[in-house]
Amino acid sequence: MDPLCTASSGPRKKRPRQVGASMASPPHDIKFQNLVLFILEKKMGTTRRNFLMELARRKGFRVENELSDSVTHIVAENNSGSEVLEWLQVQNIRASSQLELLDVSWLIESMGAGKPVEITGKHQLVVRTDYSATPNPGFQKTPPLAVKKISQYACQRKTTLNNYNHIFTDAFEILAENSEFKENEVSYVTFMRAASVLKSLPFTIISMKDTEGIPCLGDKVKCIIEEIIEDGESSEVKAVLNDERYQSFKLFTSVFGVGLKTSEKWFRMGFRSLSKIMSDKTLKFTKMQKAGFLYYEDLVSCVTRAEAEAVGVLVKEAVWAFLPDAFVTMTGGFRRGKKIGHDVDFLITSPGSAEDEEQLLPKVINLWEKKGLLLYYDLVESTFEKFKLPSRQVDTLDHFQKCFLILKLHHQRVDSSKSNQQEGKTWKAIRVDLVMCPYENRAFALLGWTGSRVSAAFIPGVALAFIRGRLGLPGARGETMAGVVVARGWTGKEEMVGRREESAQKSLNQGIPLAHGQLRQMPLE
């Protein structure tokens, strides 16, 4: 039996609950002067608390019987950070702003090591940002605590490239993709949000207790997490991976220009391989699909950062040949620090005239065509109206002039050491997306296109919360701010114009704190 869980035998008289149980204890040498612990009795019990206090003192820790201003760490068991805060409010106790809320596992590990172990995310108790316990009359609001807070909005969460929960996020990405193939938007959003929030965690989930207080994890999601924890895999994910429809849609949509409707059509016609589709003379393909099949092997392989940077040089050379003062910025995953991607996105803007902007992309396309670098292009003209609030029913990317291309990137541009006389194909087909943005909208557009698909999808929801008054801004200003974000650049008023992304983010941060570009790593690019 675990000695830490052993209770004294025999009946005992129940005593009234106290903030800190007084306990006669012989003096012990304190080895760690900078740490002052308080062990919370709630959900732990008096006997176990007393035992842990005595054991910790023997190990050289300073443990207080009562919570005081000198306490630096509160240790709790089976409590979330929000529950500890609620307990503090009920006790009418004001905590230090530097107070750490920790799970008892940190104390047990520390006692085993004979010294305080490093505090990681798995030790910190989570406090939801939507937590709003009602304080008692006369209670002074507890200042911010040094605990991990997780926002319900993806665009506000700091998500690095370090994913500590691959086993869960991979599963939810598969389920989200399958839901997308079935056009089940509710399930798609459910799994997409779950994968997104799990990627933002600075710790690995090892038990269901670790999911307490984390937003966007509903009952269905938690059931899947629990099954993976217990069995190492999800039966639902396993079934999806073995599903013929999922496998076919996964294959078909890997072709550039093939969407869900075409995939559904081919699946119903009995096709299960690309070779059968390509050899069928009765099928007609669009120009985009023809390019997708022609350069399939190149397009399904990942684009490396070196290749993306080489494409960036190509784009800048072409753009600056016509507009030397233009700004050319690589956006998307590569701007957030990713090493690989599926395509390369660029946002282009110039302080010149609107006419120069409108003519730039056609000139660039013509230049690449003459140089033999253009394999495919689709130029879409702008439908952007400067003083019109965009519709929520339309993807706002559709408002600006844009061009979807496939460019020929010679290997020598990526690695200059490669000889022109090398055998075989000397180039690779790369997907490139160019977006032409009005200069006055550049900062907000850059903010929108830097975030991932999930991050960008959440930003309008956060902004529109202003209109409903949830984030405390007046209706008029809230509507303006919502318009700014939903349009990814619509300014509305001159004072809202930003020349730099930092200015735009600072403006939005007055009510919507957003994560920095390199901290907006989300799934499902």
Answer for the pair 320, 326: CB distance below 8 angstroms, yes or no: yes
Helix or strand or coil: residue 236? helix
Q: Which of 170, 356, 378, 433 is catalytic?
A: 433
Main-chain phi, psi angles of 119, to 5 degrees: -80, 120
Give the DSSP H or E segment for 237: helix 235-241
DSSP string across 59-71: TT-EE-SS--TT-
User: Could you please report the per-residue DSSP string of 148-186?
Assistant: -EE-SSGGGS-B-S--S-HHHHHHHHHHHHHHHHTT-HH
Distance CA(463)–CA(471), nearest Å, equals 9
Tokens representing 435? 């977006």
- Pick the catalytic residue: 231, 325, 345, 398? 345
Give SS3 for 399: helix
Is 103 flagged in the annotation as binding?
no
Does the annotation count 343 as an active-site position?
yes
Tokens of 412: 């020598």
Distance CA 256, CA 64 (A): 64
On whether 345 is known to bind a ligand per the annotation, the reply is yes
Distance CA 158, CA 150 (A): 9
- On whether 243 is known to bind a ligand per the annotation, the reply is no
356 flagged as catalytic = no
Burial class (CB in 10 A: 0-12, 13-18, 19+), 7: exposed
Dist CA 482 CA 490 (whole Å): 9
**Catalytic hit among 210, 325, 343, 356:** 343
Q: Which two tokens stand for residue 475?
A: 């209706």
> To 10 degrees, what angle do helices 453-467 and 185-199 make?
100
| Secondary structure (3-state) at 122 | coil
What residue ranges in 258-360 does DSSP mark as E strands?
Answer: 303-304, 327-331, 340-341, 344-349
DSSP, residue by residue, 433-464: EEEE--GGGHHHHHHHHHS-HHHHHHHHHHHH
Spatial CA neighbour of 211 closest among 195, 198, 228? 198
CA 176-489-385 angle, 5° bins: 105
Q: How far is CA 42 from CA 20, 48, 269, 338, 372, in A?
A: 11, 11, 63, 44, 72
Non-local (6+) Cβ contacts of 202 within 8 A are 120, 121, 148, 164
Cβ within 8 Å of residue 387, ≥6 positions away: 492
Closest CA to 400 of 451, 461, 347, 333: 347
Is 433 one of the catalytic residues? yes
Of all helices (H) and strands (E), which one includes residue 402? strand 401-410
Catalytic positions: 343, 345, 433
Q: Can you say which residues are annotated as belonging to the binding site?
A: 343, 345, 433
Q: Can you say which residues are annotated as belonging to the binding site for Mg(2+)?
A: 343, 345, 433
